[in-house]
Amino acid sequence: MPVMNIKKFSFTYPGVDHPSLKSITLPIKKNKITALIGPSGCGKSTLLRSMNRIHDLYPGNKYDGKIELLDLDTGKYQNILEIKKENEFIELRQKVGMIFQKPTPFPMSIFDNVAYGLKIAGIKNKSELKDRVENALKGSALWKEVHDRLDKSAMGLSGGQQQRLCIARAVAVKPEVLLFDEPTSALDPISTGAIEELIVELKKDVSIAIVTHNMQQASRISDYTAFMYLGDLIEYDKTENIFLNPKEKQTEDYITGRFG
């Protein structure tokens, strides 16, 4: 059962004639990792950034089609493109978290970083905050490294630690879906390995969509892969099929490194 259903979704940036995404239809399956791959400018990040409507911080975008999000409590789908009110946006973004290309620690302590999403969601109980921060940090394999300096600034952590902190921060609010926008492109291979392990670990609890430039990464960690090119979804299938037995010529050319 897909936790998100993207249906005939088109997207146009303001001041541009042609759409950046053309009638994309794609499921994000529950407790699976879906990788979005394709050459630069194919629209994979645009698609990802539409799934929590973070694009709407900047006015003037045009949408068409539907992006449906499953409400795990009621079992009903809601079209997130219809969201207009601020409180609905907040609710959406608490359900659909996001990790960015560069680590984005906030200018505050490690504890406050992880607790931030909880605090703005209205959780004030100190012991509950403490428990959930600890669990999120343990779940992000960061607890051992930072448990004795939770009150220190998050800016003092290494790049890889900062990115795991951002994952802990997103996990702490217990989202249904996590969107990763090239989460390891600014990290060294060892940190990248740790993040990849973590993402695989996380799919027990959340459904994941990840944009990546790194095809090995997509083949290593994802269950499903969508190949996009110039705003079109060329092929979507199980990851092993995409990499071992692609149906489309363009997909084969891209994954064998003939272009892109």
Partner 1 sequence: MEKIFQKLSLASATLVFVLLVGIFLTLYSAAKPAIDEFGLGFITNPEWNKEVVVPTAQDTANRAEALNSDDDAITDEDDVMIADEDDEIADEDEMLLDDEDESVTKTIYGGLVPIVGTLLSTLIALVFALPIAMGIAVFLAEIAPKNISNIVGIAIELLAAIPSIIFGMWGLYYFAPIVAGIVGGYQVSLLTAGLVLGVMILPFMAAITRDSMNTTPAVLKESAYALGATKFEVIKDIIFPYSKVGIIGSIILALGRALGETMAVAFLIGSIFVLPKAINDPTISIPVAMANNFGEASGLGESALFYLALILFIISFAVISLAKFYFLKKAK
Residue 195 · residue 159 · CB < 8 Å? no
Residue 53 · residue 80 · CB < 8 Å? yes
Please pick, from the candidates 19, 27, 117, 139, the single residue that binds partner 1 as defined by CB under 8 A. Answer: 117
86 binding partner 1? (CB under 8 A): yes
Stretch that binds partner 1, among 49-57, 188-196, 198-206, 245-253 (CB under 8 A): 49-57
Q: How far apart are CA 253 and CA 44, in angstroms?
A: 18
3-state secondary structure of 108: coil
C-beta of 228: minimal distance to partner 1 in Å? Answer: 22
107 binding partner 1? (CB under 8 A): yes
**Other Cβ atoms within 10 Å of 94 Cβ, number:** 16
Sign of CA dihedral 218, 93, 115, 102: positive
54 binding partner 1? (CB under 8 A): yes
13 binding partner 1? (CB under 8 A): no
* Count of residues that bind partner 1 according to CB under 8 A: 26
139 binding partner 1? (CB under 8 A): no
120 binding partner 1? (CB under 8 A): yes
52 binding partner 1? (CB under 8 A): yes
C-beta of 206: minimal distance to partner 1 in Å? Answer: 14
Q: Which long-range contacts (CB under 8 A, 24 or more apart) does 192-196 make?
A: 192/160, 192/217, 194/141, 194/160, 194/164, 195/160, 195/163, 195/164, 195/167, 196/220, 196/221
* Nearer to partner 1 among residue 77 and residue 106 (C-beta): 106
57 binding partner 1? (CB under 8 A): yes
Residue 14 CA from chain centroid, whole number: 24
What single DSSP character describes residue 80?
Answer: G
Please pick, from the candidates 3, 48, 67, 166, the single residue that binds partner 1 as defined by CB under 8 A. Answer: 166
Q: Give residues in contact with partner 1 (CB under 8 A).
A: 52, 54, 57, 86, 89-91, 93-94, 97-98, 100-102, 104, 106-108, 116-117, 120-121, 166, 169-170, 173
